[in-house]
Amino acid sequence: MTDARARRPLLDVVDLRTHFFTDAGVLPSVDGVSFTIDRGETLGIVGESGCGKSVTAMSILRLIPQPPGRIVGGQVLFEGVDLTTLPEPELRKVRGNDISVIFQEPMTSLNPVYTIGDQIMEAILLHQQVEEDTARAIALDMLERVGIPAAATRIDEYPHQMSGGMKQRVMIAMALSCKPKLLIADEPTTALDVTIQAQILELLKELQAAEGMGIMLITHDLGVVAETCDRVAVLYAGQVAETGATADIFDRPTHPYTLGLMQSLPDRAPPGGRLFTIDGMVPSPLDFPTGCRFRTRCPRASGTCAVPPPLHDLGGGHRVWCHHPLSADEPGELVDRNEAVEDDGTSPTWMEPPRGGGQP
Amino acid sequence: MTSDVPVAPPVEDPSYGQIVWGQFQKRRIAMASLFGLLSLVLVAVYVPLFASNKPFLWNAGDGLSSPWLLALFDRNFYENQVDIFFNTLMVFGSLAAVPVAVVFRRSRTLRRRPRQAARQRALLAALAFVVVAFGAVNAAGMQQEKTVFPKLQAQLEGQGQAVTAIYPPLPYSFRDGELTETRLPASLAHPLGTDNAGRDVFVRLLYGTRISLTIGVFAVALYITLGTIIGSIAGFYGGRVDALIQRLIEVVICIPSLFLILTVAAFIEDRSIFHIMIIIAAVAWTTPARLVRAEFLRLRNLDFVSAARAVGYREGTIIFKEILPNAIGPVLVAATFGVARAILIESTMSFLGLGDITVPSWGQILNTGRTTSIWTLILAPGFAIFLTVSLLNLVGEGFRDALDPKLRR
Amino acid sequence: MLQYTVKRILLVIPTFFMISLLIFLVLNIAPGRPGATGGAGQGESQNQEQQESYRIFKEQFNLDKPILVNTRYTLDADDARELLVTAYSIGGQASAKDRIAASDALSEYGAYLVRPLVELLDDADPAVRRKALDALVVAGQQPFENDRRGDDDARAAARDANKRIAAENQTLKERRLSADADDADIEAAAEAWKAWYLGHEDRYTYTLSEQVEIFFLDTRFAKYWGNLLHLDFGVSTVDRRPVMETLLGKLKYSLTLSTLAIIIAYSVAVPIGIFSAVRQGTRLDAAITVGLFVMYSLPTFFTGTVLLKLFTEGDPFAVFPTGDFQTMTSDPMTTWTLTKDIAWHLVLPIATYTSVALAALSRYARSGVIDVIRADYIRTARAKGLSEPVVILKHAVRNGMIPILTLLGGLLPSLVAGSVVIEVVFNIPGMGQYLYSSINLRDYNAVMAVLLASSFLALIGILLSDLSYALVDPRISFD
């Protein structure tokens, strides 16, 4: 029994589906997403804007606006308990206590009319049986730990008196004040400038080491993923395209989309060369293609892609959903982009066309 | 390719006005209210067709005549400029509407610029025609003897003379009552009964539409113009001019406007509804002024104005060609609500006996109801005001939502 | 914060001054003559007695003074001659309108005409000389001092001065020539006036500093403000009682009414708005929205009249009294019964008064909360594990209510103004009804006082709402 419990991941998301029911039609923003996070582990969720990263995160704590959004299928097992069916009062004991969230927009995620101290203490008083003095002490301690200078005075300040980086630190302090087992960080550094970004990520790593919590880090920045994450899940159009250990994904990207993402990294472009872009845009959730959703932009797409892609388990947790994955023994998957662009700027030639049928 | 292949009308990007109009059309309640308002306008214009104690046709043995038609521009019968104006609109406006409709139909296949130009020309010509006609009617200043035809008919028939007369469905005047028929309850002949002076309540209500709409539209047109000019000056020049105008606006806002309006109205002897419009405008101009000023402050530093400056346009050109069109949306919304407010103010004034006492204003009818305790005299005008104000507010809300990019559907 | 408050309060003073200037100008420029309905007619057809009483009436209310600036010290013999020639149509045909204007001017210019008229006593035209003598009788009389103000000593001194003035005026009046006076009489009178003038010459010549003082201070507006600084709104032209007294008596009714209306409107509107916002899109929300819209579009005078007729005269529903603030009775009432009685009288007016404000406020409350409910920090609050009521009441409402608080400032002037309709319909002897009767009676001082007092109340209300805004929203900076 204890063995089984230990083996069970901290968070196990199984085939999660969150749809939005709007006047224009049903938007399947998250459509069958599965992944796991273990204690002390950092999972990176990457993908372009609109691929369903944030909706996935919000669905875990059922924080999506409802209506129009609704979780229509799947399970979110947190320590074995399905959060999608948990009664609201029980769920509230999980929110902010066992699972905390840091949002993308530190500028607007704090209530402007209360002091930051009030807002941090609110969660502490709610989830821990402590007096107000103790709660304040805890809040102060958290503010110091996230590196806010002169925390003793800043605790009584209002959000508008702080900079964006400071606000995000406050958000982190608030999220960690109840020592959560899982921290969901939804693009925590997007709104901040680069030096602050590094500080915040460093801070998260330190705190994780100290508390041993799992982190779900949502980002579109592969650089961040490479530095901080143990494992990665690549999302495309509401579905997982590829998942695996960070090293595996970065060394051997198998899904054409993952490869495209990797190649579009600025540091992979030759000096003075053009940046790589994936052609086209993420399709609107209103008209996702049938079968593989990437096929409208995929240079390897073929007729078979019109049916849902199969799962290839490459071992070591590296899994990919694709009809035409790049095989491990395909070393030369990168073409010389500059040459390709100059040859024919109109066709998507960032990858060699699929050769024949049989894939491993 | 030969040129006689039929060319489909070119596909154009919708203009800003078209986008807003498209958004407006998607709001069903607002559209329905707009149609409601249009019907009110039609009622106001064509009410003599339904209610007048002048027969369309009259023959008392001395030849066929149309007292109804002759009365339309008669200063003794329709004493009020407003009625004369609406009658002009009814006769000459209807005449002008025909060619305008033709132009609109023909221009459908044109590209936007020539189409808009053609339509604008047609509308301006029609407007000019009506204005000239109104001037001519006023200059003619027709005056006829007062004849009460239903009475005359009864008298002649009493003498055994055959009389042919065709009346509008409600053969009553809004002004002259039948003293033998006071306080009648509602009946088929008098749909809402009669008041304490024997006048048909429904007919007075219908003619009241003219008064309310006129006051609403003209007062608002007046103060929108005034406010836009003042707001433009404040917003464009900024600095001391702006500060001064701001102070002035603050001062005007602090004074309870209805108090001021009533006071000024009371001190004007023989006030007409034109006085009332001016008084309302003099108090209400602050709203558009503030809107336009705010819009200027927002827009004056935007790139396109700097671009216009860089190209070397003069300041006046920048104001009117570049900035004002952007400010027009919120001002139009405010204008729609403003018409509702002006109608409410006017009816409050006439309710308190400080309006134009010669016209059948709804507020005045309601006041009669209050003093005489005749229920129809309270409920009917109250409902008429409520309906008009509601329709205007709903249309205004529809416009506001249609202008809001966040609420696009 | 303190600095902001002080600054904001200091700003009230110039604003109020501007308001008074504006109202003053409007009232004085408005056509129609004050007191015209009070018996004293106008024009030259009236007899001397009537003319005299109207002149004193104007003098008493400073209506003989120019409105904003006074340049009458520059009047010379030519101006005076012009006025006499026009007023009495000497040797020409002046129109009736010009004659009235000129004779009004002759009676209004008062002391400023004395020196020019004395110079005219040597005029070549005997008719002018004759009329100048008549005009001197009027111009030479001095206005009385205000004996209603200050401590007892000041009043006594003013009364003594007035006795002296009255005596002097009386001797001047006796110099009026009879209609059949001959040339010798006129000559004698002229000499007498010249002698009198020599004795009083310094009274009628002005130094530069006196001219400046006259320019600004011997005006209607300055006199009015002089009185205002003593909290004196003048006396009513109708009942001749101090306006201030009457106004204070009326104020308690209006304040009770509007304060109650505001409190009720806010305490009902806010919960309705929040409820409607939280249930946004449901049928109940739709029903509430429609209901509020109807209330919003119904004119107050209509609602008031219907309520009044329905619940006081209508057979089955005649439960409420037909107006007034309280039952008129000589029986002494205990505080409790009096309160109950007043409350019973106020149900209908308050309901009417509240309805429009309530509708407007609820609509704002609803949209305010709806705006906030979508905010990121509400999601943060939910993510903390707070329960829905706490999220709404603690995090959404305080933010959502800020726009409603600012609405109070805009609401106050219109609520104050709305009182005129309510008080007339329900016959409550408050400020609105006082204004209504005063404008119908052309009681300028009373009208001016009501307009000023209500503007002042509105100004204070706006000030308070600005200050509370700053208190509730920490983002407002105080510099």
pLDDT at A268: 64
**Which residue did the predictor score with more confidence, C140 or C323?**
C140
| Number of other residues whose CB lies within 10 A of the CB of residue B60 | 17
pLDDT band at A328 (very low <50, low <70, confident <90, very high): low
C379 and A108 within 8 Å at the Cβ level: the answer is: no
Helical pair B257-267 and B273-284, crossing angle rounded to 10 deg: 150
* Burial letters B107-145, b for 16+ CB under 10 A, else e: beeeeeeebeeebeebeeebeebbeebbeebeeeebeee
pLDDT band at B88 (very low <50, low <70, confident <90, very high): very high
Given the structure tokens 């369903």, which residue do they identify?
A52
pLDDT at A343: 39
C19 and B255 within 8 Å at the Cβ level: the answer is: yes
Question: Which has the minimum average pLDDT: A263-267, B240-244, C296-300?
Answer: A263-267
List CB contacts (< 8 A) between B257 and chain C.
413-414, 417
Residue type, B242: D
Q: What does pTM read for this prediction?
A: 0.81
Question: Which has the minimum average pLDDT: A121-125, A276-280, C448-452?
Answer: A276-280
Instruction: Identify the closest residue of chain B to C12 by CA–CA distance.
Output: B251
Does the beta carbon of C377 lie under 8 angstroms from any beta carbon of chain A? yes
Query: What is the distance between the alpha carbons of residues A76 and A82, in angstroms, rounded to a whole number?
Result: 5
pLDDT at C34: 55
Q: What is the mean pLDDT of residues C31-47?
A: 49
pLDDT tens digits, one per residue of C191-232: 888 888 888 888 888 888 888 888 888 888 888 888 888 888
The angle subtended at Cα B367 by Cα B362 and Cα B372, nearest 5°, is 125
pLDDT at B146 > cutoff 90: no
The DSSP code for B180 is: G
Query: What is the distance between the alpha carbons of residues B153 and B158, in angstroms, rounded to a whole number?
Result: 8
List CB contacts (< 8 A) between C435 and chain B.
259, 262-263
Task: Evaluate the omega torsion of the peptide bond into residue A68 and state whether it is cis, within 30 degrees of 0.
Answer: yes
Chains that touch B (3 or more CB pairs under 8 A): C
pLDDT band at B348 (very low <50, low <70, confident <90, very high): very high
Q: Which of B384, B205, B337, B382 is nearest to C303 (CA)?
A: B382
List CB contacts (< 8 A) between B348 and chain C.
299-301, 421
C383 and A96 within 8 Å at the Cβ level: the answer is: yes
Q: What is the mean pLDDT of residues B379-394?
A: 94
Q: What is the dihedral of CA B183, B187, B188, B192, to 10 degrees?
A: 60
pLDDT at C93 > cutoff 80: no
Q: Which of B368, B384, B356, B371 is nearest to B265 (CA)?
A: B356
Query: What is the distance between the alpha carbons of residues C437 and C426, in angstroms, rounded to a whole number?
Result: 14
Give yes or no for a contact between C440 and C238, defined as CB atoms under 8 angstroms apart.
no
Return mean pLDDT, chain A. 79
For residue B49, the Cα-to-chain-centroid distance in whole angstroms is 19
Q: What is the end-to-end Cα distance of chain A in Å, rounded?
A: 38
pLDDT at C121: 83
Phi–psi pair at C235, nearest 5 degrees:
-105, 155
Does the beta carbon of C332 lie under 8 angstroms from any beta carbon of chain A? no
Which token pair is B380? 């009917």
C385 and A174 within 8 Å at the Cβ level: the answer is: no
pLDDT at B190: 86
B266 and C462 within 8 Å at the Cβ level: the answer is: no
Give yes or no for a contact between C421 and C432, defined as CB atoms under 8 angstroms apart.
yes
Give yes or no for a contact between B292 and B246, defined as CB atoms under 8 angstroms apart.
no
pLDDT band at C314 (very low <50, low <70, confident <90, very high): low
Query: What is the distance between the alpha carbons of residues C271 and C275, in angstroms, rounded to a whole number?
Result: 6
Give yes or no for a contact between A44 and A85, defined as CB atoms under 8 angstroms apart.
no
C450 and B259 within 8 Å at the Cβ level: the answer is: yes
pLDDT tens digits, one per residue of B233-247: 888 788 899 999 998
Q: What is the least distance, in Å, from the CA of B276 to any CA of chain C?
A: 14
Residue type, A192: L
Phi–psi pair at A214, nearest 5 degrees:
-85, 145
Strand A182-186 to A99-102 pairing: parallel
pLDDT at A107: 79
pLDDT tens digits, one per residue of B243-297: 999 989 989 888 888 898 998 888 887 888 888 999 999 989 998 998 888 888 7
Helix (H, G, I), strand (E, B) or coil at B60: coil
Which token pair is C55? 């002149």
Does the beta carbon of B266 lie under 8 angstroms from any beta carbon of chain C? yes
Q: What is the mean pLDDT of residues A56-67?
A: 84
pLDDT at C187 > cutoff 90: no
pLDDT at A342 > cutoff 60: no
Cβ contacts of residue A194 below 8 Å, gap of 6+?
none
Helical pair B16-25 and B375-403, crossing angle rounded to 10 deg: 130
Respond yes or no on whether ipTM tops 0.85: yes
pLDDT tens digits, one per residue of A171-199: 888 888 888 889 898 888 776 777 777 87
Which strands sit side by side in the sheet containing A69-78, from one edge to the other? A25-37, A11-22, A69-78, A81-82
Query: What is the distance between the alpha carbons of residues B7 and B273, in angstroms, rounded to a whole number?
Result: 53
Contacts 24+ apart (CB under 8 A), A14-17: A14/A74, A14/A75, A14/A76, A14/A77, A15/A73, A15/A74, A15/A75, A16/A56, A16/A59, A16/A71, A16/A73, A16/A74, A16/A75, A16/A76, A17/A71, A17/A72, A17/A73, A17/A74
pLDDT at A154 > cutoff 80: yes
Per-position DSSP letters for C166-199, written without gaps between them: HHHHHHHHTTPPPTT--HHHHHHHHHHHHHHHHH
C27 and B267 within 8 Å at the Cβ level: the answer is: yes
- Cα B20 to Cα A165, B31, B214, B330: the distances in Å are 40, 13, 26, 12
Query: What is the distance between the alpha carbons of residues A295 and A302, in angstroms, rounded to a whole number?
Result: 8
Does the beta carbon of B15 lie under 8 angstroms from any beta carbon of chain C? no
The DSSP code for C441 is: T
pLDDT band at B11 (very low <50, low <70, confident <90, very high): low
Give yes or no for a contact between B101 and B126, defined as CB atoms under 8 angstroms apart.
no
C296 and B344 within 8 Å at the Cβ level: the answer is: no
pLDDT at A5 > cutoff 80: no
Give yes or no for a contact between A341 and A274, defined as CB atoms under 8 angstroms apart.
yes
Q: Which of B80, B58, B86, B85 is nearest to B70 (CA)?
A: B58
Per-position DSSP letters for C3-47, written without gaps between them: HHHHHHHHHHHHHHHHHHHHHHHHHHHSSS-TTTTSS---STTS-
Which token pair is B386? 């409520």
B256 and C455 within 8 Å at the Cβ level: the answer is: yes
- Cα A216 to Cα A39, A47, A57, A315: the distances in Å are 11, 14, 8, 22
Cβ contacts of residue C49 below 8 Å, gap of 6+?
none
Q: What is the least distance, in Å, from the CA of A32 to any CA of chain C?
A: 24
